[in-house]
Amino acid sequence: MISMRYHIVSIAAVFLALAVGVVLGSTSMSDRLLAGVGDERDSLQGQVERLNAERTDLKAQVAAAEQFNSAVGPMAVQGQLAQRSVVLISSADVPDQQREAVSQLLRDAGADLTGDVRLGEGFADPDRADQLRRVVTELLPAGVQLPTAADPGTLAGGLIGPLSLLNPQTGQPQTGDPERAAAFSGLSEGGFATASPGLRPAQLAVVLTGGRIEGDSAGDKAATLARFATQIDRAGQGAVLAGELGSADGTGPVGVVRADPSIASNLSTVDNADSASGRVAIVMALREQADRQAGHYGVASSAQGPVPSTRG
């Protein structure tokens, strides 16, 4: 007769066998799963290594291209701005090294660089817009008429343009030397703009800005600089607005200009002024402006091409 103890031992043996089977099965499955994960890891590691190698190669190619462009840039622009005078105007976020690189290439092109105007930190600050309007009105020299627009960028351009540029019709200064010095002195005291000593009015202007503008007031700041450059263009024979990479998006002055056909048809832009090829484009675009033409150059999708066509 089968005892209760026999039944208990039998049931225990069955469960033990099931447990052993489950352990053995799961161990085998785990080994296969771990092996698959290991293979996937090795594959991803290989992809990472290949991408890193490609990135290193691309960085080397970009560096070599920049060196090449820097070397041939002076030869490419030689004589393009001969017998032309240029004033350089730059916003507060432009590094000294970039400002000097643009200045040097303008000289290599044969331009007479008459001086530079550096906009202050407060120039495009929306919180100081009313102060800028008031200062511009107070410093306006006799004989200079401000534009009817009320925005601070246009009004500031209506003052700094005639101070920095020759009359496009007569080729003569639009203000006297004492009036020019007094106006820039007032702008400097307000933290809005500073002119280099001995600044002379020029035929053409380069307005150099940074790249993407960050912060809550990015759109207002970009618009102020874009409208300022537009008025500078109207005050003289022509102008080029040049910014760094990122300046052609919605938070950069270049992008603001390109998005407005009424402005873009007259004011030229360059969106990669922080590169050697971009600086060449600035010179070529300025030559186009001297010939009463406008274009938009650089690497952004809104550009017509990297540089204008070469002119003799």
Report the distance separating Cα 129 and Cα 141, nearest Å. Answer: 20
Q: Which of 140, 232, 145 is nearest to 179 (CA)?
A: 140
Q: Are the C-beta atoms of 155 and 130 separated by less than 8 Å? A: no
* Helix (H), strand (E) at residue 117: strand 112-119
pLDDT at position 168 is 95
Q: State the pLDDT at residue 2.
A: 54
Neighbours of 146 (CB within 10 A): 18
Indicate left, alpha or beta for 198 from its phi (over 0: left) and psi (-120 to 50: alpha). Answer: left
The residue to which tokens 């919180």 are assigned: 127
Q: pLDDT digits over 176-199, tens only?
A: 999 999 999 999 999 999 999 999
pLDDT at 28: 60
Please tell me the predicted confidence (pLDDT) of residue 58.
Answer: 46
Place of tokens 């263009």: 233
Query: Which residues of the chain carry a pLDDT beneath 70?
Result: 1-31, 33-34, 38, 40, 42, 45, 47-73, 310-312
- Alpha-carbon gap, residue 241 to 88, rounded angstroms: 10
pLDDT at residue 5, rounded to an integer: 59
Please report where in the chains the tokens 């990122």 appear, as a residue: 246
